[in-house]
Amino acid sequence: MNPKNSIYFILLTLSGYTFFASCSAEDRRKEYAEQTGLDRWIDSIMRQDYYWYEDIPATSELNYFDDADDFFDGLLSDDDDSYSTIEDLSETEYSYGFEFKLYELSDTAYAAQILYVLPDSPASDAGLSRGDWITAMDGDSITDDNYTSLYRGDALELSVAQYSNGELGSSNTVQLGIARSLTSDPIYYSKTFTWNGEEIGYLVYTHFTSGTDESDATYSNELLNLSNEFSGISEFILDLRYNSYGTSDCAQLLATILAPSSTLGETFCTLKYNDKQSAQTETKTFDTSLISSGTNLNLKTLYVLTSSTTAGPAELLISALQPYMTVIIIGEDTGGKNVGLGTYTNEEYLWTIHPTICMLYNAEEETNLSGFSADYEATEDEDNLNVSLGDTSELLLSTALSVIDGSYSTTTATAITKQTTFKVIANSLNRSNKVKGVVIK
């Protein structure tokens, strides 16, 4: 073979290889773009809006092929952030319609005690109620590995017992229907009643949301109508023991209803963003336009019932009202989730992220990330959960009433702060799919 032709053949072969290699690389880049697109979208938002963006690892240290939830968690500040969350929107949120505490009865035995039941749910259809104990599912014992099956799933056969005189009684069998998508009105219970000659308003409020979706205001309108019914009361008891999520707008609305009239127009809270934002602060007020169809109750004192799961917008409301009125906390120390979260949805990949985007301060420039301490301690336990919410003998409500009428004493305090018999293992209100801070809209 002619040496020149040989060289030509080699060059041609190499150039052809380069051509196919470059085409392959281009194709792979497209493939990679599809595989890494969601993580890169998350990364771009976090580097711009995340409050602790300086703690995000360098791009070279990240794996953009990671699952979205693992990738998101890898961006969060180890030292500061236990609030930001991510949601897979392709997973429909189904529920049986009850919340519970999980207790360890012994080294091998667990049981779930129901905190409350949503109306028109599989749980209510099955006749389950507050205080019931679930001791088995489909004949199997409840364990640390399987108790999350009580959140959602197929139909279950439950063994249900009652607790009395320090022990669980025999179980009855209850058929629980398949979990389904539910609506949850945050106004779980409300009433006005006379106590020791005074008109008392009482509201069990389970989350700070305006309606069934972002464009709906059904729940906010119900709250405004309810404020008119509460008009003229002497004292108000706000039950936030099961309230751990929601928006700043709804907290602002409820606070405007409850606050002293002299507070209207004053600072509700200030939001402080990172230094990449064009406006690094934003102030919200007790805005009278929010309650044009409702009533400001002009309270001087607010009694708030809390638990360790009380967090987020519930804590924002407490913090915002404290500079202007006496806020008395009854129950347990709160969870400490008073930060502002943004909401960013990728419609192509069907994921939403809720990163911490701001810190929240009240009118006195105070913020609280460690939770609020109870002024009067009272803890729901296995002995007192069988009393209905709104019953004046129910532990937290009766404690608030004793504070209001002056009958609270150290003897009362000893009775309501006793040690529980069983160890609490989990609380369904803390499950990971709950948004953990205050959503900023």
Note the Cα 244 to chain centre separation in Å.
4
Q: Give the pLDDT confidence score for residue 31 in this predicted structure.
A: 65
Residues 328, 393 within the same domain: yes
Residues 206, 265 within the same domain: yes
Q: What DSSP assignment string belongs to 189-250?
A: EEEEEEETTEEEEEEEE--B-SSSSTT--HHHHHHHHHHHHTTT-SEEEEE-TT---EEHHH
Structure tokens at 207: 């989350």
Residues 162, 212 within the same domain: no
Q: Judge whether residue 425 has pLDDT over 70.
A: yes
Residues 302, 164 within the same domain: no
- Are the CB atoms for 243 and 310 separated by under 8 Å? yes
Residue 60 lies in a domain: no
Final residue belonging to a domain, choices 154, 176, 198: 176
Residue 85 lies in a domain: no
Final residue belonging to a domain, choices 116, 145, 176: 176
- Res. 4 pLDDT band, cuts 50 70 90: very low
Residues 103, 129 within the same domain: yes
Cα–Cα distance between 317 and 303 in angstroms, integer?
Answer: 12
Q: Give the pLDDT confidence score for residue 32 in this predicted structure.
A: 75
- DSSP strands (E only) in 240-350: 246-247, 267-273, 281-285, 301-306, 326-331, 339-341, 344-346
- Res. 15 pLDDT band, cuts 50 70 90: very low
- Are the CB atoms for 116 and 187 separated by under 8 Å? no
Residues 231, 209 within the same domain: yes
- pLDDT (tens digit per residue) in 360-369: 999 999 998 8
Residue 168 sits in a domain whose CATH number is 2.30.42.10
| Residue matched to tokens 């209001």 | 404
Residues 122, 227 within the same domain: no
The structure's pTM equals 0.90
Structure tokens at 43: 């990364």
Q: Give the pLDDT confidence score for residue 6 in this predicted structure.
A: 43
Q: Give the pLDDT confidence score for residue 423 in this predicted structure.
A: 85
Residues 166, 282 within the same domain: no
- pLDDT (tens digit per residue) in 66-94: 999 999 999 999 989 999 999 999 988 89
Burial class of residue 327, CB neighbours in 10 A (0-12, 13-18, 19+): buried
Q: Indicate the residue type of 59.
A: T
Residue 255 lies in a domain: yes
Bridge partners, 193 (sequence order): 200
Structure tokens at 2: 């002619």
Q: Judge whether residue 428 has pLDDT over 90.
A: yes
Q: Judge whether residue 370 has pLDDT over 70.
A: yes
Q: Give the pLDDT confidence score for residue 19 in this predicted structure.
A: 39
Q: Shortest CA distance to 244 belongs to which of 325, 317, 149, 327?
A: 317
- pLDDT (tens digit per residue) in 267-311: 999 999 999 999 999 999 999 999 999 999 999 999 999 999 999
Residues 268, 354 within the same domain: yes
Residue 278 makes CB contacts below 8 A (sequence gap 6+) with: none
Q: Is the dihedral of CA 258, 264, 265, 268 positive or negative?
A: negative
Gap between the terminal Cα atoms of the chain:
76
Cα-based distances in Å from 20 to 10, 13, 29, 31: 15, 11, 14, 16
Residue ranges making up the domain that contains 345: 187-420+430-439
Crossing angle of the two packed helices 68-75 and 3-49, in degrees rounded to 10: 60
Cα–Cα distance between 234 and 298 in angstroms, integer?
Answer: 10
What rounded mean pLDDT belongs to the chain? 90
Residue 156 lies in a domain: yes
Note the Cα 334 to chain centre separation in Å.
12
- Res. 413 pLDDT band, cuts 50 70 90: low
The sheet carrying 267-273 orders its strands as: 246-247, 438-439, 339-341, 356-361, 267-273, 281-285
Q: Report strand pairing: 301-306 vs 235-239.
A: parallel
Q: Give the pLDDT confidence score for residue 24 in this predicted structure.
A: 43
| Residue matched to tokens 């519930």 | 314
- pLDDT (tens digit per residue) in 221-279: 999 999 999 999 999 999 999 999 999 999 999 999 999 999 999 999 999 999 999 99
Structure tokens at 71: 């990738």
